[in-house]
Structure 1
Amino acid sequence: MMPQDNFKEHTIRQALSTNVFGHSLVFLDSTISTMTEARELVSNSAPEGTLVIAEEQTSGKGRFDRNWISPHGVNLYISLILRPSTEVLVKLGIITSLALARVIDNFLPANNNVSIKWPNDLRINKKKVAGILIENHIGDHQNYSIIGVGINVNSQPIKIPSISAIATSVFQETNNVTNRVDLLNSFMKELENLYLNGLNVDSINREWKMYLDNIGDNITVRWGDHTYVGVAEDVDTNGSLILRLQNGDIRTLPAGEVTLTV
């Protein structure tokens, strides 16, 4: 029996030490997906920083509508509503994955290798521990973005045959139960700091690139109706992949529009 970590709405509200993120909070025991709930809130003019949290998703989705296994009471499933400038909007993938990588790093022993598989998967020793899904809308009057994040905290993917070879959790890597309230607060603080304070862009990009684990790999990328095979040579300042094709040509592929296999 997994020890309880007191993951309740009132304990989350008390613990959050952010200035904006999570001050408007929706806590659900079960939902189809936090992204679905967040879309509804956006349509009702939810303020920036509105945070949707669920203990369980019955139809959680990752990028390209892939299923995200979301058992009850052990992981983090959240969606955050932002209203960024266009300049910040294009960098949300970078700052979100960097913030999460920093936080997961801090919750693990030093010998674990936390990395980012471009564009939005977090991995520990090359096994997926978290996924990020970002939906953006650029409007005439105001932009909005919804950042959806699923983190395998105290689940045991090793017991789920369909993902046991490719996924892990903080619990599996540490053999200790992690307090999800503490992890959530740390992530929200780190992300808010990067989002609001406009830190040095060059420094952020350099650190983010250091976490990337598939630069230099031979990969296959599906982009729209096209499939490209080549070497992941680099990323640009907005996080798009620079792919060198087998014939030597270069393609720059935005993160939001591709699916990648190694």
Structure 2
Amino acid sequence: MTLIDLYDALPSTQTEALNRLRAGDRGPRWIRAERQTAGQGRMGRQWDGPSGNLMASWYGVLPVEMRRVTQLSFVTALAVTDTIRPLLSAPDPLKIKWPNDVLYNGRKLGGILVQSESLDDGLGIVIGIGVNVAEAPDVQTYGTAAVNALTDRPRTLETVLKALDAALTQRLAEWLKNGFEVTAAQWWDQAYGRDRACLIEQNDQALTGTILGLDEFGALRVRDQDGKIHAIASGSVKYPEA
């Protein structure tokens, strides 16, 4: 079991982990906060972190090239679904939405933020994970869900993080040993939106198409209405019901 440092409150577990790496702490270790006051999400968004939900960051040094860091969002997403799926009364609606959301029936159950830091002795990695365990936050822009509302027996945060630690440790080891191809295929098996058209908003441009899977670095492969295939490395993906 990886060591866990627990705080009553932090501005952000992600920021704390990055600061530790910069100060010479190489982990691996988890930082968990009962409450976050300035939690970080993708593209600078704030992650709403009420007490009772999992807010944690794993940090350590991994022997990988910087260009492979983007793959870690998908490695981590699989670890999150490995953790949550056995807890659910009806697991089929659990899906992964590109690039870093875990959804249940289209409602956000969890999110992932991966950051890296170039260090003198390797590449520092911080993997931030938020999972709605006790409470589905009230968010105006999208629907949310919580694990304990979807299971026959509520779980504690300690139980969920212990299972997540084991799942992430295994997924990281498999990725480092086998590369990204297997991870990408397993992500596709759980991909949200593969059965409907999507709208991708990227800067001032919009693209409508269907998703085909991931490229070698985790960009989303999309076939547009003319049959042309695009690799989307960043942007917002929406679906008709979203």
TM-score normalised to the size of structure 1? 0.80
1:58-98 deviations in Å (ceiling 9; x for gaps): 121211122222112x1110011132212763421121000
Give the 3 Å change call, closer, same or farther, for CA 161–54 of structure 1 in structure 2: closer
**8 Å contact 1:216–1:233 — kept in the other structure?**
no
Give the match's secondary structure for 1:166. coil
- Pick from 48, 52, 56: which aligns with 1:78? 56
1:236 aligns with 2:178: no
**8 Å contact 1:99–1:194 — kept in the other structure?**
yes
1:170-208 deviations in Å (ceiling 9; x for gaps): 112126421211110111111111213545444433222
Which residue identity is paired with 2:167? E
Which residue identity is paired with 1:46? D
CA RMSD, aligned part only?
2.3
1:172 aligns with 2:152: no
1:151 aligns with 2:128: no
Equivalent in the alignment of 1:36: 15
Equivalent in the alignment of 1:4: none
Q: CA deviation at 1:120?
A: 0.9
Q: Distance in 2 between matches of 1:42 and 1:111?
A: 36
Q: Distance in 1 between matches of 2:90 and 2:193?
A: 21
Give the 3 Å change call, closer, same or farther, for CA 43–224 of structure 1 in structure 2: farther
Give the 3 Å change call, closer, same or farther, for CA 217–83 of structure 1 in structure 2: farther
1:142 aligns with 2:122: yes
Identity %: 25
**8 Å contact 1:122–1:129 — kept in the other structure?**
yes
1:55 aligns with 2:34: yes
Q: Distance in 1 between matches of 2:139 and 2:56?
A: 25
> Equivalences for 1:82-231 in 2 at 5 Å?
82-84=60-62, 85-86=64-65, 89-138=69-118, 142-157=122-137, 160=138, 162=140, 166-174=143-151, 176-197=153-174, 198=176, 200-201=178-179, 202-224=181-203, 226-231=205-210
Which residue identity is paired with 1:77? M
Structure 2 unpaired stretches of 5+: none
Q: CA deviation at 1:240?
A: 1.6
**8 Å contact 2:88–2:152 — kept in the other structure?**
no
Which residue identity is paired with 1:53? R
Q: Distance in 2 between matches of 1:156 and 1:224?
A: 30
**Larger displacement relative to structure 2 (27-36 or 242-251):** 242-251
**Larger displacement relative to structure 2 (242-251 or 216-225):** 216-225
Give the match's secondary structure for 2:40. coil
Give the match's secondary structure for 1:222. strand
Q: Distance in 2 between matches of 1:161 and 1:100?
A: 21
Q: CA deviation at 1:36?
A: 1.5
Q: Distance in 1 between matches of 2:152 and 2:167?
A: 25
TM-score normalised to the size of structure 2? 0.86
**8 Å contact 1:95–1:195 — kept in the other structure?**
yes
Structure 1 unpaired stretches of 5+: 1-17
Count how many residue pairs are aligned between Structure 1 and Structure 2.
235
Q: CA deviation at 1:243?
A: 1.5
Q: Distance in 2 between matches of 1:170 and 1:66?
A: 23
